[in-house]
Amino acid sequence: MQKTVLLIHAHPEPTSLTRTLVEAAKTSLLASGHRVLESDLYAMNWKAVFDAADFPQRVNEDRLCFVSESGNAYAKRAQTQDVEDEQAKLRQADAIVFQFPIWWFSFPAILKGWVDRVFAYGLAYGYKDAGNQHRYGEGGFAGKRALLSVTVGGPFEDYGARGINGSLEQILFPITHGTLFFSGMEVLPTFAVYGTGRLSEAETGLAIEGLNNRLDGLFTDAPIPFRAQNSGDYQDKHQLAAEIAPGRTGIVAHHAEPDLFV
């Protein structure tokens, strides 16, 4: 069945590996019969900084409270046009693919700024203006799938279970869990290409093949089994119940199979 996929990417250089993978992803998704929407953040000259200019009609002119101004602007459709346009793409999307280079263990700033500005109160958090009732597995983006596809300068060994950098999937927890699962998306295991500084043509070909395989499973692969807030695992909506993952602490405890969260 035809689905709509939003492909968001963050790299200004057309010959970069990131952009090579973007082109490959577009070709693959279209060949599978999907409709592709795109946000090429550098080409759009996306405003990365969340600031007072995001709120043309303020509730409070004296003090800038981002959360309340975001809620007001979203509810009254008083957001800036660029934010409205990105939210319209998100509404149409059945899946969102993020293609970006790992910069300082995270998103490039332009992509972080996209999240800061587009994930409004009432949509991505504070859903239904119900405080924290609908988060982690519920919320404005429920029913959508997400895939991070990243290029990584360091070698795979540095990101393995005992690698010096820490495990990549754990490093990306603030994005996969704290941002995408938080707002309701089902997040697939990250696709990563390592050692990107020294890739041969053949290795680039393998990277494209690997990404194509993952895109083939975009709507069928099992998501990361993060624990949903309202599944009963968090009796008070804040802390894991005593009988869930006893003795486990930290981020791995929020994965239904903590031993596999490496």
Exposure string of 196-208, with b = 16+ CB inside 10 Å and e = fewer, is: beebeeeebeebb
Residue 14 binds ligand FMN (CB under 6 A) = no
Binds ligand FMN (CB under 6 A): choice among 39, 79, 149, 151: 151
Binds ligand FMN (CB under 6 A): choice among 97, 147, 152, 215? 152
Instruction: Figure out which of the listed residues 2, 33, 53, 104 binds ligand FMN, where binding follows CB under 6 A.
Output: 104
Segment near ligand FMN (CB under 6 A); pick from 77-85, 96-104, 114-122, 219-227: 96-104
Of 103 and 219, which CB lies nearer to ligand FMN in the complex structure?
103
Only one of the segments 79-87, 95-103, 176-184, 243-251 lies at the binding site for ligand FMN (rule: CB under 6 A); that segment is 95-103
Nearer to ligand FMN, 17 or 90 (CB): 17
* Nearest position to ligand FMN, beta carbon: 153
Choice from 9, 11, 26, 177 touching ligand FMN (CB under 6 A): 11
d(Cα 17, Cα 40) in Å, to the nearest integer? 15
CB 67 within 8 A of CB 74: no
Q: Which of 105, 128, 235, 257: binder of ligand FMN (CB under 6 A)?
A: 105
Residue 103 in contact with ligand FMN, rule: CB under 6 A: yes
Do 11 and 103 meet the contact criterion of CB atoms below 8 Å apart? Answer: no
**Residue 9 interacting with ligand FMN (CB under 6 A):** no
Query: Among residues 17, 93, 172, 211, which is the contact residue for ligand FMN, using CB under 6 A?
Result: 17
Is residue 42 a contact residue for ligand FMN (CB under 6 A)? no
> Counting contacts by CB under 6 A, is residue 16 touching ligand FMN?
yes
Q: Which is nearer to ligand FMN, 14 or 131 (CB)?
A: 14
Query: What is the nearest approach in angstroms of ligand FMN to the Cβ of residue 178?
Result: 18
Give the shortest CB-155-to-ligand FMN separation in angstroms.
Answer: 8
Q: Which residues contact ligand FMN by CB under 6 A?
A: 11, 16-18, 101-105, 151-154, 196
